[in-house]
């Protein structure tokens, strides 16, 4: 329960749009935590299913509030409403209603991690991909670590396996406000923008414990949205390189390869998840919007090869031509769902 001041230490924003089938598991995983000094703000963005009725079942817990939109406001407005207008804690986190917490001590572990690393702007953990045919764990680092601004930003820019999951990353409110919070000029990869901005402010801390489950069931974006997503990702990577360079981090030279690797990570993920048409659509969007970066990105060509050749053909081609076969990173695109 909240401390003596009545203000909770941690504010949890649960974003929901037509996820009534997932909401009970998400909420139970939050309310069963060993760390209890938190508030939960459920924001339902005018769902068409039974989400509101399901959310109301949890209001008997005094830590839970429900905001039910009469009109669909969209992902960005709901996200900013929850984090900036309604959250009262010194720590913030957002959990999508289709994701959930894997361990009852997750919040306890993360709060302790931030206490041990007081300069870190945020913390994140390993997590589980939850697929219909099984699950797998993603680890960004092999052990607990804390990186300062320069090293943290470079690790995010080079896209070599470092992936903070938006759901469950815990942010210091002071750092959030210092970096300006979620960008208003970005419509899709808001999480990526925040990862970069917070890293510059104070770096991050990481625990190798797998604390969250991330469901893979996304809908395909239209071609126009895919191209917009590509443009925004490329813009954010270039801006992060420029911002790092201005601070003496030596990131300017990373831009061309980093853009291709970030775009390639999305396409590779779709290809290996069994969505060849989506992978090819992402490759084509990248080729149109960022032709030079596409040309030099092994990851993008790997995605195209996997999508075109299929599982067997790719396995043979990988041996012959050494296609990269590891899915390194993918950022969520929840903002297109509402």
- The position carrying tokens 């939960």 is 40
Residue range 106-119: mean pLDDT, rounded: 98
Q: What is the rounded CA–CA span in Å between residue 26 and residue 98?
A: 7
Q: Specify the pLDDT at position 269.
A: 73
Confirm if 92 and 168 have CB atoms less than 8 A apart: no
Residue range 232-247: mean pLDDT, rounded: 97
Q: What is the rounded CA–CA span in Å between residue 148 and residue 157?
A: 14
* pLDDT tens digit sequence for 6-28: 899 999 999 999 999 999 999 99
**CB-based burial label for 201 (10 Å; 0-12, 13-18, 19+):** buried
Task: State what percent of residues in the chain have pLDDT above 70.
Answer: 87
Lowest mean pLDDT among 2-11, 149-158, 190-199: 2-11
Is the whole-model pTM more than 0.85?
A: yes
Q: Specify the pLDDT at position 306.
A: 74
Chain Cα centroid distance, residue 335: 11
Residue range 27-47: mean pLDDT, rounded: 98
Q: What is the third-level CATH fold of 10-215?
A: Spore Coat Polysaccharide Biosynthesis Protein SpsA; Chain A (3.90.550)
Chain Cα centroid distance, residue 261: 17
Q: What is the rounded CA–CA span in Å between residue 185 and residue 190?
A: 9
3-state secondary structure (DSSP) of residue 249 = coil
Q: How confident is the model at residue 161 (pLDDT cuts 50, 70, 90)?
A: confident
DSSP helix, strand, coil percent of the chain (3-state; round to 5): 45, 20, 35
Nearest alpha carbon to residue 140 among 4, 151, 333, 92: 151
Lowest mean pLDDT among 21-30, 107-116, 125-134, 247-256: 125-134
Q: What are 47's two structure tokens? A: 């769902």
Nearest alpha carbon to residue 176 among 243, 87, 236, 109: 87
Q: Are strands 134-138 and 122-131 parallel, antiparallel or unpaired?
A: antiparallel
| Residues in the chain, overall count | 338
3-state secondary structure (DSSP) of residue 122 = strand
Question: Cα-Cα-Cα-Cα dihedral of 272, 95, 221, 301, to 10°?
Answer: -30
Task: Provide CATH 3.90.550.10 ranges for the chain.
Answer: 10-215
For the chain, the average pLDDT equals: 88
Residue 6's Cβ-side half-sphere holds a number of Cα atoms within 13 Å equal to 0
Q: What is the rounded CA–CA span in Å between residue 74 and residue 61?
A: 27
Q: Which residue has the higher pLDDT, 23 or 300?
A: 23
Q: How confident is the model at residue 159 (pLDDT cuts 50, 70, 90)?
A: confident
């Amino acid at each position: 329960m909240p401390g003596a001041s009545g203000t909770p230490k941690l504010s949890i924003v649960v974003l929901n749009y037509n996820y009534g089938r997932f909401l009970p598991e998400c909420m139970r995983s939050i309310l069963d935590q060993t760390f209890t000094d938190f508030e939960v703000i459920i924001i339902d963005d005018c769902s068409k299913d039974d989400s509101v009725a399901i959310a109301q079942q949890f209001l008997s817990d005094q830590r839970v509030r429900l905001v039910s939109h009469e009109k669909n406001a969209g992902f960005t407005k709901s996200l900013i409403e929850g984090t900036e207008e309604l959250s009262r804690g010194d720590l913030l986190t957002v959990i999508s209603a289709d994701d959930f917490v894997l361990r009852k001590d997750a919040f306890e572990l993360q709060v302790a991690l931030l206490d041990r690393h007081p300069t870190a702007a945020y913390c994140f953990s390993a997590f589980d991909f939850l697929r219909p045919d099984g699950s797998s764990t993603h680890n960004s680092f092999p052990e607990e670590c804390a990186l300062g601004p320069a090293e943290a930003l470079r690790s995010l820019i080079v896209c070599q396996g470092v992936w903070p999951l938006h759901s469950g990353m815990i942010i210091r409110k002071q750092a959030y406000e210092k970096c300006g919070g979620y960008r208003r000029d970005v419509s899709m990869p808001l999480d990526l923008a925040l990862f970069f901005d917070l890293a510059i402010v104070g770096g991050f801390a990481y625990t190798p414990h797998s604390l969250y489950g991330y469901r893979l069931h996304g809908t395909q974006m239209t071609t126009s949205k895919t191209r917009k997503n590509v443009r925004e990702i490329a813009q954010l990577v270039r801006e992060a390189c420029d911002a790092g360079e201005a601070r003496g981090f030596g990131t300017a030279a990373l831009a061309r390869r980093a853009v291709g690797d970030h775009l390639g990570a999305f396409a590779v993920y779709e290809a290996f998840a069994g969505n060849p048409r989506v992978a090819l659509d992402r490759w084509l969007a990248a080729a149109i919007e960022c032709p030079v970066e596409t040309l030099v990105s092994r990851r993008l060509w790997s995605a195209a090869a996997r999508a075109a050749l299929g599982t067997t053909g790719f396995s043979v081609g990988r041996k012959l031509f050494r296609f990269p076969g590891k899915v390194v990173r993918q950022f969520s695109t929840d903002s297109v769902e509402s």
